[in-house]
Amino acid sequence: MAPSQSVDPKFADHRYGVWLIGARGSVATTAIAGAAALRHTLADDTGLVTRTPGFPQHALPDVARLVFGGHEHGAGAGTTLTKRAEHLARAGVLPPDLPAAIRADLEDADANIVDGVARGHGQEHPSDGLDRLRDDIGRFARERGLRDVVVINLASTEPPTPQRPEFASLDALTAATRSGAHVLPASARYAHAAFSAGFGYVNFTPSVGAGIPALAELAARNHVPYAGSDGKTGETLLKSVLAPMFASRHLRVRSWSGTNLLGGGDGASLADPETAASKLASKGGLVSSLLGYPVDAPLHIDHVADLGEWKTAWDHISFAGFLGASMSLQFTWQGLDSALAAPLVLDLARLMVAANAHGRSGPVPELAYFFKDPIDTSVHDLATQATMVRQFAERLGSTPGRAR
Residues 254-283 that bind a second copy (CB under 8 A): 254-255, 257, 259, 261
Q: Provide, rounded to whole angstroms, the least separation between the CB of residue 214 and a second copy.
A: 35
- Stretch of 64-72, 115-123, 273-281, 315-323 contacting a second copy, by CB under 8 A: 315-323
> Which of these segments, 10-18, 66-74, 130-138, 331-339, binds a second copy (CB under 8 A)?
331-339
In three-state form (DSSP H/G/I as H, E/B as E, the rest C), the secondary structure along 177-190 is HHCCCCCCCHHHHH
Q: Least Å distance between CB 61 and a second copy?
A: 18
One residue of 6, 123, 332, 378 binding a second copy per CB under 8 A: 332
- Restricted to residues 211-230, the positions that interact with a second copy (CB under 8 A) are none
Nearer to a second copy, 45 or 131 (CB): 45
Neighbours of 289 (CB within 10 A): 17
Binding window for a second copy (CB under 8 A); candidates: 18-26, 148-156, 316-324, 393-401: 316-324
User: Which among 28-36, 110-118, 164-172, 273-281 is the span making contact with a second copy, rule CB under 8 A?
Assistant: 28-36
How many whole angstroms separate alpha carbon 312 and alpha carbon 332?
Answer: 7
Contact 144, 12 (CB under 8 A): no
In angstroms, how far is the first alpha carbon of the chain from the final one?
A: 16
Distance in angstroms (rounded) separating the CA atoms of residues 173 and 219? 14
Q: Which of 284, 349, 265 is nearest to 72 (CA)?
A: 265
Find the binding residues for a second copy in span 366-385 (CB under 8 A).
381-384
Q: Does 300 bind a second copy (CB under 8 A)?
A: yes
The residue range among 6-14, 26-34, 115-123, 280-288 that interacts with a second copy, by the rule CB under 8 A, is 26-34
- Give, in order, the Cα–Cα distances in Å from 4 to each of 9, 54, 56, 127, 404: 10, 14, 10, 46, 20
- Find all residues with CB under 8 Å of 149, minimum gap 6, and list them: 16, 17, 18, 19, 137, 140, 141, 194, 197, 199, 200
Residues 237-256 that bind a second copy (CB under 8 A): 237-238, 241-242, 244-245, 247-252, 254-255
Q: How far is the CB of 229 from a second copy (least distance, A)?
A: 19
Query: Interaction with a second copy in 38-97: which residues (CB under 8 A)?
Result: 43, 45-49, 51-52, 90, 92-96
The smaller minimum CB distance to a second copy, of residues 100 and 175, is found at 100
* 3-state DSSP helix/strand/coil % of the chain, to nearest 5: 50, 20, 35
Q: Which is nearer to a second copy, 72 or 235 (CB)?
A: 235
- For the chain, the C-alpha Rg in angstroms (whole number) is 21
> Which positions from 169 through 198 interact with a second copy, judged by CB under 8 A?
none
Beta bridge partners of 323: none
Buried residues in 233-271 as b, exposed as e (16+ CB within 10 A): bbbbbbbbebbbebbeeebebeebebbbbbbbbbbebbe
**Candidate list 57, 79, 222, 318; residue touching a second copy; CB under 8 A:** 318
DSSP class of residue 74 equals G
* DSSP tally for the chain: helices H, then strands E: 15, 11
Question: Exactly one of 83, 144, 316, 395 binds a second copy (CB under 8 A); which one?
Answer: 316
Q: What number of other Cβ atoms are within 10 A of residue 164's Cβ?
A: 14
Distance CA 194, CA 66 (A): 17
Kindly tell me the sign of the dihedral angle through the C-alpha atoms of 351, 353, 358, 363.
positive
Residue placing its CB nearer to a second copy in the complex, 80 or 259: 259
How near is the Cβ of 372 to a second copy at its closest, in Å? 14
- Tell which positions 96-155 bind a second copy, by CB under 8 A: 96, 98
Distance of CA 74 to the CA centre of its chain: 20
Closer to a second copy at the Cβ: 18 or 357?
18
Specify the stretch interacting with a second copy by CB under 8 A; choose among 31-39, 114-122, 152-160, 218-226: 31-39
Smallest distance, Å, CB 386 to a second copy? 5
For the CB of residue 185, give the shortest distance to a second copy in the complex, in Å: 28
Q: How many positions of this chain bind a second copy (CB under 8 A)?
A: 75
Question: Minimal distance in Å, beta carbon 305 to a second copy?
Answer: 6
